[in-house]
Amino acid sequence: MSTMKYVIFQAKDRVEFVEMPASYAYQLSALNVRLQKEVGKLTADQIPQLPVVLGECTELEIVAKDVTVISGLDYINHLERTFAEVQESSYPLISLLTEIRALQAQLEQWYEEEYEEN
């Protein structure tokens, strides 16, 4: 089994834990920081509310009953759908979607290879 990392996000009044292959966790953190910078430039009516990256860790033990761990692929798929729904006319949203989809493709390939090995 490959090493996993957890990216910790603050989303409004809750904390989210996203499980990522260790080699891709930093990419998710960096993507989120970039999206945070760029989302303010969007002029659409429905702008996605992004969580803020708090940190990364290699081990995680959750003791709260109402907290779950989100798969990295599920997280990035949701992020892609959210940004694909934005009706933007002024800002080149396609560049943000391209970055999201690049990580999405890398994760899909990683999970496919991981399942083939097991």
> Are residues 7 and 74 in contact, defined by beta-carbon separation less than 8 angstroms?
no
Residue pLDDT, tens place only, 43-95: 888 888 999 999 999 999 999 888 889 999 999 999 999 999 998 877 778 88
Average pLDDT value over all residues in the chain: 91
**Beta strand pairing call for 52-57 and 4-11:** antiparallel
Q: How far is Cα 41 from Cα 48, in angstroms, rounded to an integer?
A: 12
* pLDDT interval class at 1 (50, 70, 90): low
DSSP label at residue 90: S
Domain coordinates of the chain in residue numbers? 4-117
| pTM greater than 0.95 (yes/no) | no
The pLDDT confidence band at residue 118, using thresholds 50, 70 and 90, is low
For residues 91 and 16, which has the higher predicted lDDT (pLDDT)? Answer: 16
pLDDT at 30 over 70: yes
